[in-house]
Structure 1
Amino acid sequence: MLRGFYTAASGMLAQQRKTEMLTNNMANANTPGFKADQSSMRAFPEMLLSRIDRVEIPTEKTLNLRQSPEIGTLNNGVYMQDANPSFIQGALESTDRKTDFALQDVNMPINEATGLPGSVFFTVEGTDGQPRYTRNGNFTVDAQGFLTAGNGQYVLDDQGNRIQLNSDQFDLSENGVISENGAEVGRLGIAFSANPERLSKQGNGLFLPENNQPLPSAYNNPNVRFTTQQGYIEGSNVDSGKTMTDMLTAYRAFEANQKILQAYDRSMDKAVNEVGRVNG
């Protein structure tokens, strides 16, 4: 019975974690470039139970043979795997703002190990001076004329340098080239990750590569095809309807485990306080 407490509790904890993940997804349903987290439930290895028993064979000295007949398997509960973002393309939304950029995936190579396509990202400069990556192209031009991301990170060009402009009246071509008054200013730094599931979220729509190793340029990969769109931003890829349904399912599963836990508690109360009680 005590193991039943742990099994039900593990189910509650797993569903709580899933609810928190889905709540965060729903809260960012309107955040540009947001990539929804996803995960799945897994069961802990089951235990095979057997009963220790013995059989008496009627002989002159009564031979006892020990045996352990199988009772069955016992589940040890469930857990939620680590949440990983889904890099499915979000819908492009028109803003008509010169400083809003969006990446449009055209052809992303499939990773043979995962069976999933790679993804391209804007490159920005982190607070530690190292590159970070984002799909949120809601940029602005600061007081010094530098193109910056929403939280003040500098947007980098394909040479790893900050992009400085004279005004917010500039043009962006589909191949990432920024021009001002007919003169080329630079080319957006677009990076490619063959396995974006290995990237870790850093908050504010930023991703950090594994071992902090910079991602390669997408321009150097002939198999990667994409376009950059000015006056658009990529919306979140959160499916609000499905997320709400999953949240309700997780809540109901949490509630079911809670009722099981309460039933175990009542049974334990009877076992301790009523069963075997001697009346005076």
Structure 2
Amino acid sequence: MLRGFYTAASGMLSQQRRTEMLTNNLANANTPGFKADQSSMRAFPEMLIQRMGLTDIPVENGYRLPVNSLVGGLNTGVYMQEAMPKFLQGDIQQTDRNTDIALLNGNIPVNPETGLSGTVFFAVANGNGEPRYTRNGNFTLDGQGFLTTSAGYYVLDDQNKPIQLNSENFTVGEDGTIREDSRVAARLGIGYSEDPYRLIKEGDGLFRTENGAELANAYTDGNVGFAFKQGNIEASNVDASRTMTDMMTAYRAFEANQKVLQAYDRSMEKAVNEIGRLG
């Protein structure tokens, strides 16, 4: 009986976590470059149930032999193993702001181990100067002329140096070259991950590698195709209508597990209050 409590409770907890993930997706539906999370549900390891008993052997002095008979497998619940970002390209939206730059996927190689495409990112530095990566091209210039993200992190060039400009009157070519008055000022730094699902998602639309190391320079790999579009940003890839539907499904699943838990609770109450009266 108590095993049923744990199974229903695990279902409630997993659906609660899934609802929180979907709520975060919906809250970032208008965040440039945001990559929606998708959940991975997994069942706890099954328990193999056996019946243990004794059988009498018809011999002169009598003998009882232990016997185990297989009953079958029993699942003990479910949990949300992880939430992984979905790296599909978001829609490109025109803003006509010089500091907005969209990173467009081109011919991206497919990882032979996973069967999934790699991804390119803008290279930035967090507050501690550590390498981080983002798809959010909603940039701005700070008071010293450094190109930064909306959260204030430095955007890096292809030499991993902060990009400093004189004004917002610059142009960005399809190859990532930034020019001011026909002078080459810098080239946007782009990192490439052949397996982006191994990256760790942080706040403010940032990603990092597992060991904090830098990603490969996308310019040095001739097989990686990408381009830039100034005056545009990549929108979030959250499908709002699908997310709302998934949230309702998760809520109904939570409610169903809750009703099962309540039924177990009533059964236990009945057993405690009435079984003792049978004598």
Cα distance in 1 between the residues matched to 2:165 and 2:229: 18
Residues 23-59 of structure 1 deviation map (CA, whole Å, 9 limit, x = unaligned): 1111101100000111221111111212222222444
The residue that corresponds to 1:109 in the other structure is 109
Cα distance in 1 between the residues matched to 2:125 and 2:49: 56
User: Is the counterpart of residue 145 in structure 1 residue 142 in structure 2?
Assistant: no
Matches within 5 A, 1:194-209: 194-209=194-209
Cα distance in 2 between the residues matched to 1:20 and 1:66: 50
Cα distance in 2 between the residues matched to 1:68 and 1:242: 50
The residue that corresponds to 2:170 in the other structure is 170
Instruction: Give the secondary-structure state (helix, strand or coil) at the position aligned to 1:52.
Output: strand
Task: List gaps (5 residues or longer) in structure 2.
Answer: none
Cα distance in 2 between the residues matched to 1:92 and 1:39: 26
The residue that corresponds to 1:217 in the other structure is 217
Cα distance in 1 between the residues matched to 2:100 and 2:211: 30
Cα distance in 2 between the residues matched to 1:68 and 1:204: 57
Cα distance in 2 between the residues matched to 1:6 and 1:76: 7
Cα distance in 2 between the residues matched to 1:147 and 1:41: 40
Q: In the alignment, residue 155 of structure 1 is paired with which amino acid?
A: V
Residues 94-121 of structure 1 deviation map (CA, whole Å, 9 limit, x = unaligned): 0011100001101111111211111111
Residues 237-262 of structure 1 deviation map (CA, whole Å, 9 limit, x = unaligned): 11112111111111111111111111
The residue that corresponds to 2:33 in the other structure is 33
User: Is the counterpart of residue 248 in structure 1 residue 241 in structure 2?
Assistant: no
The residue that corresponds to 1:231 in the other structure is 231
Cα distance in 1 between the residues matched to 2:114 and 2:126: 28
Tell me the matched-pair count. Answer: 279
The residue that corresponds to 1:49 in the other structure is 49
User: Is the counterpart of residue 86 in structure 1 residue 112 in structure 2?
Assistant: no
Cα distance in 2 between the residues matched to 1:278 and 1:81: 46
TM-superposed deviation, 1:278: 5.3
Cα distance in 2 between the residues matched to 1:205 and 1:175: 23
Residues 205-264 of structure 1 deviation map (CA, whole Å, 9 limit, x = unaligned): 111112010112110001100001100000001111211111111111111111111111
User: Is the counterpart of residue 154 in structure 1 residue 154 in structure 2?
Assistant: yes
Q: In the alignment, residue 152 of structure 2 is paired with which amino acid?
A: G
Cα distance in 2 between the residues matched to 1:130 and 1:98: 26
The residue that corresponds to 1:272 in the other structure is 272
Cα distance in 2 between the residues matched to 1:218 and 1:198: 17
- RMSD (Å), alpha carbons: 1.2
The residue that corresponds to 1:76 in the other structure is 76
The residue that corresponds to 2:61 in the other structure is 61
The residue that corresponds to 1:191 in the other structure is 191
Instruction: Give the secondary-structure state (helix, strand or coil) at the position aligned to 1:124.
Output: strand
The residue that corresponds to 1:182 in the other structure is 182
Instruction: Give the secondary-structure state (helix, strand or coil) at the position aligned to 2:106.
Output: strand
TM-score, normalised by the number of residues in structure 1:
0.96
The residue that corresponds to 2:121 in the other structure is 121
Task: List gaps (5 residues or longer) in structure 1.
Answer: none
The residue that corresponds to 1:132 in the other structure is 132
Cα distance in 2 between the residues matched to 1:260 and 1:30: 38
